[in-house]
């Protein structure tokens, strides 16, 4: 009898471990950015295929996303830098768009840009802010 209870208990522990691992795997597919509009997922190594989505969680499960971006109304750069604890690597400005290239310890993989490691890119113009990880691919 004790042997049977021990096996059942062991199976229960194993199933709980599998369930926890599955839960944390699903969390890795949650969108990086909250709110906003025009959510995009990038499936290629550079820009590759850009998938526009209204359901980023579901589409991140379907596609192997290498990056993602979203847009917000107004200038949200400072708020996003603070939220992601971004360390500014460098900025550049062109055609009325200011680009912030940052490293965030809260985000995963990044890319080398201009000799700096970047995993958070914020672009701001007079009307909107776009934010992406590791970079914003496509147009702004």
Whole-angstrom CA distances from 34 to 27, 69, 83, 91, 132 are 14, 10, 11, 24, 12
For residue 52, tell me if it sits in a domain. yes
89 and 53 inside one domain: yes
Please give the Cα distance from 98 to 129 (Å, whole number): 10
- Ranges of the chain whose pLDDT falls below 50: 21-29
113 and 57 inside one domain: yes
22 and 59 inside one domain: no
Contacts with 110 (C-beta within 8 Å, 6 or more apart), sequence order: 103, 117, 118, 119, 134
39 and 8 inside one domain: no
52 and 95 inside one domain: yes
Can you read off the two tokens belonging to residue 67?
Answer: 């990056």
61 and 115 inside one domain: yes
What number of CA atoms fall less than 13 Å from residue 44's CA on the CB side? Answer: 9
Identify the pLDDT of residue 108: 83
For residue 35, tell me if it sits in a domain. yes
Q: What is the span of the domain harbouring residue 72?
A: 31-133
Indicate the pTM of the whole model. 0.72
């Amino acid at each position: 009898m004790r042997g049977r209870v021990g096996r059942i208990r062991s199976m229960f522990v194993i199933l709980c471990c599998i369930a926890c691992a599955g839960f944390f795997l699903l969390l890795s597919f949650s969108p990086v950015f909250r709110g906003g509009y025009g959510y995009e997922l990038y499936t290629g190594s550079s820009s590759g295929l850009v998938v526009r989505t209204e359901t980023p969680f579901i589409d991140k499960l379907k596609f192997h996303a290498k990056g993602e971006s979203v847009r917000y109304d107004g200038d949200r750069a400072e708020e996003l830098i603070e939220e992601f604890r971004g360390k500014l690597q460098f900025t550049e400005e062109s055609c009325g768009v200011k680009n912030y290239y940052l490293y965030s310890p809260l985000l995963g993989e990044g890319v080398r840009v201009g000799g700096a490691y970047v995993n958070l890119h914020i672009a701001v113009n007079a009307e909107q802010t776009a934010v992406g990880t590791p970079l914003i691919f496509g147009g702004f």
